[in-house]
Structure formats: C-alpha cells, structure tokens
A and B are shown apart, each in its own frame.
Chain A
Amino acid sequence: MAKLDHEALLSSLRRQFDGQINELDRTFGLLTIETSKDAIIEVLRYLKTAPELQFIYLTDITAVHYPMNELSMAVVYHVHSLVNQTRIRVKVFLDGDKPQIPSATILWPGANWMERETYDFFGVIFVGHPDLRRILNVDEMDVFPMRKEYPLEDPNRVDKKDFFFGR
C-alpha cells in the first residue's frame, strides 16, 4: 500500500501551487493532474525535491494528440516516488499548432532521450533541450508520425489489393 495517499499528495501540491493544479482523474489508482506549461518545471521540481514527496524517478515523458480539442497536444509526465511507493501522472495541454514546453532535462538528465522521442513522434518543442533532434526515425523524415492527422493508408495504392493474393 502506498505510504502517501492521493489526498495528502493533492493537498501538498495545492498548498504549493494554488490554482495552478487540476485533478483530472484517478483511473486504476493512478492520480492524474493537469498543470500549465508555465508551472510544469516548478511542479516537477517540487515533486522531486519536497522531503515528504520525493518523486525522484522520472518514468516516462510522452505525448498524446487529441485533434478534436482546442489545446490538441498533451505532454504527459510519469514520475515515481520510490520512497513513498506511489506514482503520479502530470499532463500539460498545449496548442497543437505550435507545441512548446520547457525541457525537464534541468531536473533529470534522463529526460533527454524521452524528450527527443516525444519530439520525434509528436513534434513537441522542448525549449532548453540541449540536443533536440530525431532519435528513432530517419533524419530525413518531415512529418511527426504519431499525430492523428494522417490517413491510415494511402487510398490510391494498389500493390496490396486482395486481387494480387488470389482473394
């Protein structure tokens, strides 16, 4: 059982960041909060350094594209408090046309590759990142493939029609 319950965690965050924190949900026991791109680094710093929280382990940074939303790009941070045996998910919603957010590499050097991956697949610009370039896809790629703005398949292609496979 987690040594730090959601209420204590939320009230600690609310005390520190009055009005800048929104609770989104607690699906599967994972507390999810939302904050703004102006506050995100301070929120992460507080989560990492506050003695009663100690979320010292950055599990992952990724993004989700919600093309139907006005703020269509969500950057998601998962952090883990090894001491308190609990995790928290922090989301920041950004303008999908120009998604920019400060880099977390000043807090965790390990954020470097996670942010490069998020840039590679979603085009999120991490301001202050030391080396923001593609990490998994070919360097010449000129799209961000995980955005939900491409047809799943080119409707004009004919090379994989059933006809060619005797179906």
Chain B
Amino acid sequence: MSDIKLAPAPPGVTGSGFFATTLDKAVGLARANSLWPLPFATSCCGIEFMATMGATYDLARFGAERPSFSPRQSDMLMVMGTIAKKMGPVLKQVYIQMAEPRWVIAVGACASSGGIFDTYSVLQGIDEVIPVDVYVPGCPPRPEAILDGVMRLQDIVRSESVRRRETDEYKALLESYGIYKHG
C-alpha cells in the first residue's frame, strides 16, 4: 500500500456503491486541489516563491503542479513583491484576463500594504486595484508561510458556493474596482 494521502472526501451520505454529497462540496474539492498558480513576481518575495515551487517545499503537493504563465489558464494569481503605481494597471489587466473563478494571494508586506515603501510611487497594497483573498505577511515570507497562504486559500475555495461568482455582491465587489463582467 502506498503512503500517498488523498484529499479527504467532503461530508456526504455513503452507502453500498454510492456516495452522495452536494455539488458545491464536490466542485470545491476539485477546485481546491487543482489551483494553478500565476506567479506575478516583482522582487524578493518572488525568490521565496521559487523556493516554494522547488523540490524541498514543493507547492505541487497542493495541486499547483503547473505554474501557468498565461493568465487565461490559471486560477490563483500570486502577487509577490512591490507593485509600483505604474505597474498597477498592468496587474489589473492580468487579473481581468484571468477566467472565473479566480483568486488572488498577496504575498509579502509590499503586495499587502506597500511594506517599507511608504512613498509616492508605490501602491500601498494591491487591494487598491484588485480584490485579494489571502494576505501572507512577511518581508519576505518564508516558503512555509507562502504554503500556509495557499492552504488558507484552499479552505476558502473548498467552502465557496458555485453560485458565488454570479451573485450581486460579487459583481458589486468587482465594480468597486472598476471591473465589469459583461462589457
């Protein structure tokens, strides 16, 4: 018997030859364990991310085997590093190009709050231009912290309703950032 651990099944009803659960939970399980990351690395946090992707820490264990360098085929935007105000529109464009459902992790102090760069040319946190799901503190955070951020995001993804992206609240959230889903 191999010692590979499988993701635990969501709560449901088990009987002989069948397993019943809700669609939300089945979809959440699938999504949470196949989050394809899009690295948006601008500085030292990006180096920590490289370690996170490497053999020792191995982000692939969490279903993020394939870093997608195209926003079209990725689920999880990981912003790592200082985002200058001039980079803001670029980051927003990358976010808009991602297909729904999409999630964002702000890795490190700079992406979360501007960090030490409390100055006229630096965005004081990427949540000024795009909505963020998980913030990872640290300057830079260790790979363990980045992994913890991914696991917290998996919790969010696992419990997300399949209808969330169609709700008025979600549309209002995007519109507060000037992003319009249909046209």
* A137 close to chain B: CB less than 8 A: yes
CB distance from B137 to the nearest CB of A (A): 11
Chain B, 114-150, contact with A by CB distance < 8 Å: what is the 0/1 string?
A: 0000101100100000000000000000000000000
- The size class of the interface chain B forms with chain A is under 10
The answer to whether A137 and B86 have CB atoms under 8 Å apart is yes
Chain B, 83-123, contact with A by CB distance < 8 Å: what is the 0/1 string?
A: 00110000000000000000000000000000000101100
The answer to whether A138 and B118 have CB atoms under 8 Å apart is no
Question: Which chain B residues border A160 with CB–CB below 8 Å?
Answer: 118
* A153 close to chain B: CB less than 8 A: yes
* A110 close to chain B: CB less than 8 A: no
* A145 close to chain B: CB less than 8 A: yes
Within 8 A of B (CB), among A141-160: 143, 145, 153, 159-160
Number of A-B residue pairs with CB-CB distance less than 8 Å in the complex they form:
13
The answer to whether A145 and B118 have CB atoms under 8 Å apart is no
The answer to whether A137 and B121 have CB atoms under 8 Å apart is yes
In whole angstroms, how far apart are the Cα atoms of A160 and B85 in the complex? 19
Question: Which chain B residues border A145 with CB–CB below 8 Å?
Answer: 120-121
CB distance from B23 to the nearest CB of A (A): 41
Within 8 A of B (CB), among A117-143: 136-138, 143
In whole angstroms, how far apart are the Cα atoms of A138 and B122 in the complex? 11
In whole angstroms, how far apart are the Cα atoms of A159 and B124 in the complex? 10
CB distance from B90 to the nearest CB of A (A): 11
In whole angstroms, how far apart are the Cα atoms of A36 and B124 in the complex? 42
